[in-house]
Amino acid sequence: NAGVTQTPKFRILKIGQSMTLQCTQDMNHNYMYWYRQDPGMGLKLIYYSVGAGITDKGEVPNGYNVSRSTTEDFPLRLELAAPSQTSVYFCASSYSENTEAFFGQGTRLTVV
Amino acid sequence: QKEVEQDPGPLSVPEGAIVSLNCTYSNSAFQYFMWYRQYSRKGPELLMYTYSSGNKEDGRFTAQVDKSSKYISLFIRDSQPSDSATYLCAMTGYGGATNKLIFGTGTLLAVQP
């Protein structure tokens, strides 16, 4: 029972590099979310999707892009990485906007 | 004004104490209120889920929602060292601007044996 799977778990990126954080869920959930968590700052919503082909911005979308071509996958793309993007990134999914969200184990990203 | 405000903590209590965690929110359209617990280096997990106003009890945990005051609380009775974690409030609603799960900043709780 995999749930929400994120890869990679850890990554060190140089300033200006790009990368994609992968997120896959096997629960046939419609909603998927990307959050970032900085120390003492809780979870800030980057982007979310209510279904395949539909994405929308959250609180802190600048510097990120997403796509949702399938129900299962919701990758997060970082273009031109900056030190301010050093954070822990969590992907989550839920059946609808008002049901339990299940989280992945997170990706720890450091930009140097 | 942030949509969801949460007491920052950190909070340190002795084992057996009653713990009170709180959040306030600004958007009256929020209808569903949740508390997530996050252990160190782990993803958050749902602890309590409440719809609209009222109380909900589950073992040592009680969640309260007061929509008139836009205030939610989580009470932990007989706190245990295993309760040491970060507690995040979260809320959502139907459609429009509230059709996404918004979190508070989290409160770090340490229960001392």
Give the pLDDT score at B91.
Answer: 92
What is the count of residue pairs from A and B with beta carbons less than 8 Å apart? 61
Look at residues B105, B111, B63, B109 and name the one whose alpha carbon lies nearest to residue B85.
B109
Residue-averaged pLDDT of chain B: 92
B21 touches chain A (CB under 8 A): no
R_g over Cα of chain A? 13
Residue A94 has pLDDT above 80, yes or no: yes
| Residue B58 CB-density burial (10 A; 0-12 exposed, 13-18 middle, 19+ buried) | exposed
Instruction: Pick B18 or B51 by higher pLDDT.
Output: B18
The answer to whether the CB of A52 falls within 8 A of the CB of A67 is no
The angle at the Cα of A37, spanning A33 to A40, to the nearest 5 degrees, equals 140
**How do the residues of chain A divide into helix, strand and coil, expressed in percent and rounded to 5?**
5, 50, 45
Confirm or reject CATH 2.60.40.10 for domain A4-105, answering yes or no: yes
Binning pLDDT at 50, 70 and 90, where does residue A40 land? confident
Binning pLDDT at 50, 70 and 90, where does residue A107 land? very high
Q: Which of A42, A45, A106 sits opposite B100 (nearest CB)?
A: A45
d(C-alpha A37, C-alpha A87), whole Å: 6
Give the pLDDT score at B3.
Answer: 86
Chain B residues with beta carbon closer than 8 angstroms to that of A42 = 6, 88, 103-106
Give the pLDDT score at A1.
Answer: 67
Q: Which of A43, A97, A100 sits opposite B49 (nearest CB)?
A: A100
Residues A76-104: b if buried by 16+ CB within 10 A, e if exposed: bebeebeeebbbbbbbbbbeebbbbbbbb
Average of pLDDT values for B3-14? 90
The per-residue pLDDT for range B56-101, each reduced to its tens digit, is: 999 999 999 999 999 999 999 999 999 999 999 999 887 666 678 8
By percentage, how much of chain A surpasses pLDDT 90? 88
Strands (E), chain B: 4-6, 11-14, 19-25, 30-38, 45-51, 54-58, 61-66, 71-76, 85-93, 102-103, 107-112
Contacts of B47-51 with CB under 8 Å at 24 or more apart are: B47/B74, B47/B87, B48/B74, B49/A100, B51/A98
Residue-averaged pLDDT of chain A: 94
d(C-alpha A2, C-alpha A31), whole Å: 17
| Residue A20 CB-density burial (10 A; 0-12 exposed, 13-18 middle, 19+ buried) | middle
R_g over Cα of chain B? 14
**How many residues comprise chain A?**
112
Binning pLDDT at 50, 70 and 90, where does residue A87 land? very high
Give the pLDDT score at B97.
Answer: 67
Residue B38 has pLDDT above 90, yes or no: yes
Q: Does the beta-carbon distance from A100 to B32 stay under 8 Å?
A: no
Q: Does the beta-carbon distance from A98 to B106 stay under 8 Å?
A: no
Query: Does residue A101 sit in helix, strand or coil?
Result: coil
The per-residue pLDDT for range A47-86, each reduced to its tens digit, is: 999 999 999 999 999 999 999 999 999 999 998 999 999 9
| Window 25-84 of B, Cβ < 8 Å to A | 31-32, 34, 41-46, 49, 51
d(C-alpha B91, C-alpha B52), whole Å: 10
Closest chain B C-alpha to A6 CA, distance in angstroms: 11
Average of pLDDT values for B30-52? 93
Domains of chain B: 4-112 (2.60.40.10)
